[in-house]
Structure 1
């Protein structure tokens, strides 16, 4: 069977867009105060430190457990996270546009309150169709992202059979990798989304079992960001269940 030896995905560190979005939601604003394209949103100072912490964790791994290759979303916040985390490791890094964040179309920069106020018909249609299949005008449904991720995984398995690969991307990719690799249904995926907020610089990981199938090791782990509180991420304990 053509399969990877191990796969990790790291969500990007905290971005200035994350900070602005939280501020907008807390204040009841309709729009997030952000001027950059989504592709150009940088890390915040806290996000850069999270990326450095991820790199410190990576360098503690024994050589036979470290990633051999890394691939990142081309978006700045993910690219910068990857560059900082991999600095000094010698792990080669490439970019793939199929790892970009979900395109929100006309909802870009709007808060949930802003969507309800400015696009009430679309808000109602989203509630009717459900989060998984709903596609905002000019944007992508979760299923659209899953389709490009399926193609990416097929290429990754072909090009890096039996190798350990680390991805750097976005929260929707973390959920959809679990959907694809763990064989979740739509209902199970949506339940997973209700239980978890994917943390900045969290690590989710899979490794090949004796039959060559990827099995989850850990989901949305952040212990590497707080090493004095607990052991490193990616260990034997799995914080996940359906």
Structure 2
């Protein structure tokens, strides 16, 4: 079947895709810690230890990934994910690899660059205070456009990220027809998967972003019996596996003012 015809039939529900999609935010990273410290200190620049793609998990983040793995180990064989995919960023790959190893799953962690975090361009390494002080015109443009459509020079808007995630979902549907898939990625991506799979509006996804912080190593799960029809959100931002093991639950939020104004 021609690929375009196949994609059309899949969208029409005539071909099965994935039956379950589990989304995990990476464990706490050294960058998360540095960013929170910078914001609390009123600093303009985040003292990150490496470029964004190379930032590693903190000690707490490693504990969170292992706790996630123990949660996955309790999943019956018949309900295990057939595939595990990760962002190429080190903190996500470490989370996926530690969790899969702790779970005793035979799955190999596969990487796709479309799962990388949103690229911040000129705003990279700056706190909100730093953007206001050093790039006031960009700060004003960001407020005017809102988080969904604002694209920093050299970076991406949320709408840009949605475009790459849509192609990923289509590819995963084709590659993992009738199967469960686990993705390890980043907080903004989890919100944007909700935007795509639940067919949300800009305002609806921004309302969620304004009221919810995606917790490190949290689990969000979508189900679609038979691999056809609409997705149902079964679990959102669940971190009970951390609480039950006494592992810290960490919140490292992004910019709180997300709506256009």
Which TM class, normalised by the smaller chain length?
over 0.9
Residue 72 of structure 2, aligned match among 38, 58, 61: 58
1:135, 1:149 → 2: CA distance? 17
Local SS of the residue matching 2:184: strand
2:86, 2:115 → 1: CA distance? 7
1:178, 1:224 → 2: CA distance? 22
- In the other structure, the counterpart of 1:238 is none
- In the other structure, the counterpart of 1:68 is 82
- In the other structure, the counterpart of 2:236 is 219
Q: Paired residues, what number?
A: 229
Q: TM-score, normalised by structure 1?
A: 0.92
1:174, 1:146 → 2: CA distance? 11
| Structure 1 position 4 matched with structure 2 position 21 | no
Q: CA RMSD in A?
A: 1.2
Local SS of the residue matching 1:206: strand
1:27, 1:82 → 2: CA distance? 32
2:245, 2:144 → 1: CA distance? 46
1:134, 1:6 → 2: CA distance? 31
Q: Is the 8 A contact 1:68 1:92 kept in 2?
A: no
| Structure 1 position 208 matched with structure 2 position 228 | no
- In the other structure, the counterpart of 2:210 is 194
- Please state how far the C-alpha of 1:228 moved relative to its aligned partner: 6.1
Local SS of the residue matching 2:23: strand
- Please state how far the C-alpha of 1:96 moved relative to its aligned partner: 0.2
Structure 2: gaps of 5 or more residues: 1-12, 247-261
- Please state how far the C-alpha of 1:53 moved relative to its aligned partner: 0.1
- In the other structure, the counterpart of 1:154 is 170
- Please state how far the C-alpha of 1:41 moved relative to its aligned partner: 0.2
Q: Is the 8 A contact 2:221 2:233 kept in 1?
A: yes
1:214, 1:161 → 2: CA distance? 14
Q: Is the 8 A contact 1:4 1:214 kept in 2?
A: no
| Structure 1 position 97 matched with structure 2 position 113 | yes
Residue 32 of structure 1, aligned match among 46, 49, 66: 46
1:121-163 deviation line (CA, Å, top 9, x unaligned): 0100111111100000100000000000000000000010110
Q: TM-score, normalised by structure 2?
A: 0.85
- In the other structure, the counterpart of 1:165 is 181
- In the other structure, the counterpart of 2:126 is 110
Q: Is the 8 A contact 1:209 1:215 kept in 2?
A: no
- Please state how far the C-alpha of 1:98 moved relative to its aligned partner: 0.3
- Please state how far the C-alpha of 1:208 moved relative to its aligned partner: 1.0
1:208, 1:187 → 2: CA distance? 25
2:229, 2:84 → 1: CA distance? 21
